Structure 1
Amino acid sequence: MTSTQKSAEPIAKDAAQRQKAMGLLAKASRAELQAAFEALENKPAVQPVRGPETGLVMVRGRIGGGGAPFNLGEATVTRASIRLEDGTVGHGQSLGTDGAKAQLAAIFDALFQQPARKTEVDTLLETIAARGAEEDAAKARQTAATRVDFFTMVRGED
């Protein structure tokens, strides 16, 4: 194994962790992000880099998860980029037109990249993940309540 392969592994791991964190931040509610920002002891100095700006993205789908992709429709998204005073750049995005939510997500993305502040963001991410899991479980229970099991009884000699 070469030295470039060894050094690329931690980078890939960090990128995967950041990708997961950004996904959770995009799913967070504005209230969750605002409350977490207000709870920060040392609020960072934030400089906007881009946005927030709202636009459209094409949503693609597949029939049965494996069919040919097709354009399902467009979705409104908002993105924002910020820079902290130490130069760390954070990016945030969310469905809809809530620019403040995208900007708060960008702030937490930037804080996630700082080792000293990562634990603060991890606490927020755990809260978002727990809420998402609870919502998924509630939806699964609601769906299970309407489930109908069909069975066929074989008659004769087959």
Structure 2
Amino acid sequence: MKNRIAADALWNDEERRQWMSVLAEAETDDLEALWDRLQDKPSYTVLHGPETGLIMVQARIGTMSGLFYLGEATVTKCFVTFDGQGIGASFILGRRPRHAEIAAVLDAMLQDPSKRGHLMASIIRPLDSRRQEAERLEAARAASTRVEFFTMVRGE
């Protein structure tokens, strides 16, 4: 029971949610390039996966409607452990087994406070910067196609 409480505490950690979000949304090529540059990669054991399956996606229209099932999405999941310590997990949209495996290993490594600072600086922050830049460029591209409408009142 004690291990279950510790695992639940990890899943509720906001910092972990942030790095998992960055890892999941990263471009696979960017993630692999940063992984290849990483020194001292740990030996790890794959506990489960990477395997691809489907999840059901829920949606809501507006704030007053209830949830409904929008459809299915493909997801790749992987669970690893390194040095017999914590368990790293990843759930990545699409069919990307290598991405899921690297993200799971990094999740396990980031749970170790002695490794976290270096990994945040060398992998998570660069990936997050690239994601923010891509979002900014997409917003600018969308804004350039924006059309302004106005209405003229007749007869006045």
What letter corresponds to residue 136 of structure 2 in structure 1?
A
Answer with 145-154 or 78-87: which moved more. 145-154
Consecutive unaligned residues of structure 2, counting only runs of 5 or more, are: 1-8
Identity across matched positions, percent: 37
- Residue 98 (structure 1) aligns with: 96
Answer with 106-115 or 29-38: which moved more. 29-38
Pair 1:66–1:17, CA change in 2 (3 A): farther
- Residue 4 (structure 1) aligns with: none
Given candidates 1, 12, 19, the residue that maps to 2:17 is 19
1:137 and 2:146 correspond? no
Q: 1:59 & 1:66 partners in 2: Cα distance?
A: 19
What letter corresponds to residue 81 of structure 1 in structure 2?
F
Could you tell me how far 1:68 is from its partner in structure 2?
2.5
| TM-score of the superposed pair, with normalisation by structure 2 | 0.84
Consecutive unaligned residues of structure 1, counting only runs of 5 or more, are: 1-10
Secondary structure at 1:76 match in 2: strand
CA radius of gyration, larger in: 1
Pairing 1:9-158 to 2, within 5 Å after superposition: 15-64=13-62, 66-123=64-121, 124-154=123-153
* Equivalent pair of 2:31/2:127 in contact (CA under 8 Å): no
Pair 1:15–1:64, CA change in 2 (3 A): same
What letter corresponds to residue 128 of structure 1 in structure 2?
L
| TM-score of the superposed pair, with normalisation by structure 1 | 0.83
Q: 1:52 & 1:156 partners in 2: Cα distance?
A: 68
Q: 1:34 & 1:129 partners in 2: Cα distance?
A: 15
Q: List, as ranges, runs of 4+ consecutive aligned residues in structure 1 with deviation greater than 4 Å.
A: 154-157
Q: For the aligned residues, what is the CA RMSD? A: 2.0
* Equivalent pair of 2:57/2:72 in contact (CA under 8 Å): yes
The alignment covers a number of residue pairs equal to 146
Q: 1:143 & 1:37 partners in 2: Cα distance?
A: 32
What letter corresponds to residue 94 of structure 1 in structure 2?
I
* Equivalent pair of 2:48/2:80 in contact (CA under 8 Å): yes
